[in-house]
Amino acid sequence: MSKETEIWNKVLSAAIQLPGVKVNRDSFLQEKLSIYCTGSQMSLAVEKGTIGNVDEKVLDEIAKECIKSHTIQVTALSTALGMPGGLAVLGSIPGDLAQYYYHVFVLSQKLAYIYGYPDLCDENGAFTESAKNLLTIFVGVMGGVIAANKVIQEIAEQAQKQIVKRLPEYALTKGILYPLVKQVAKWIGISLTKQSFARGVSKVVPFLGGLVSGGLTYYTFKPQAKKLMGKLKTTMYLAYENKNKEEFDSTDEVKDVNS
């Protein structure tokens, strides 16, 4: 394991241990969709994913609300931790990053569930190994990593074909996808090293450091979140359309044989 990958794994491990980081998929979807959907629509969305069961504009509205909320929260956090003594509250820069990625992970889960992804937690409510790898991929997508986009495309297709309630454990731990996960993890580790240095420098200047940190967070977090939203949406809709086309073509073949 490379040094960069190890850095990311430490931040990942610290962030997923924070209280409230796991989003209950069913409860979240029921809460958000109950405002816009009928009982039958909501039931189908929770059981089989939201794609195709709920109006696209509704899904986008919910996603944008989540992005706005977490952008405000993470910007306030970054501003506070950029002030003198901010790091002392958490003890270290890794603690700062863990808090930041807490919001990244919570928002990522919400966006994934909105656009039809299966549950990232197992029956006991714990993140599976595949889930941890998928969170890594989500961060990679937000950062514009090409390898992460390839994995998202593959996972979307698997999710639509299998219609499983929970993320398959083998999906990101074996086979051709796993090397891509490692590539993304290494890229994030390199990025984190640069971020840690920049954050450390910004905190040298009292008060200004907090404003700079908060401003940088706001102007990076929101666009990256929208990038993830767009990728999750387009890949899942494409996978959904391809699945329906395959089923339609299969039905036509049966009719031709029987005619």
Q: Is residue 137 part of a domain?
A: yes
Number of separate domains in the chain = 1
**Could you tell me the two tokens for 128?**
């599976």
Q: Is residue 34 part of a domain?
A: yes
pLDDT value at position 4? 86
Q: Is residue 258 part of a domain?
A: no
Q: Is residue 150 part of a domain?
A: yes
Which residues touch 181 (CB under 8 Å, ≥6 apart)? 133, 136, 137, 151, 172
By the 8 A CB rule, do 145 and 187 touch?
A: yes
Q: Is the pLDDT of residue 36 over 50?
A: yes
pLDDT value at position 26? 92
Domain that holds residue 100: 3-244
Q: Give the highest mean pLDDT range of 134-148, 186-200, 202-216, 233-247.
A: 134-148
User: Per residue in 56-88, pLDDT tens?
Assistant: 999 999 999 999 999 988 887 766 655 443 333
At residue 141 the predicted structure's pLDDT band, cuts being 50, 70 and 90, is: very high
Higher model confidence: residue 75 or residue 205? 75
Q: Is residue 52 part of a domain?
A: yes
Q: What's the CA gap between 110 and 156, in Å, rounded?
A: 15
At residue 204 the predicted structure's pLDDT band, cuts being 50, 70 and 90, is: very low
Q: Is residue 164 part of a domain?
A: yes
By the 8 A CB rule, do 104 and 142 touch?
A: yes
Average pLDDT over residues 198-224: 55
User: Per residue in 142-160, pLDDT tens?
Assistant: 999 999 999 998 888 877 7
At residue 93 the predicted structure's pLDDT band, cuts being 50, 70 and 90, is: very low
DSSP state of 167: -
Q: Is residue 257 part of a domain?
A: no
Higher model confidence: residue 85 or residue 175? 175
Q: Is the pLDDT of residue 138 over 90?
A: yes
At residue 256 the predicted structure's pLDDT band, cuts being 50, 70 and 90, is: low
At residue 218 the predicted structure's pLDDT band, cuts being 50, 70 and 90, is: low
Beta bridge partners of 127: 121
Q: Give the highest mean pLDDT range of 150-159, 190-199, 246-255.
A: 150-159
Q: Is residue 95 part of a domain?
A: yes
pLDDT value at position 44? 80
pLDDT value at position 40? 81
- The whole model's pTM is what? 0.82
Q: What's the CA gap between 135 and 128, in Å, rounded?
A: 11
Distance of alpha carbon 252 from the chain centroid? 37
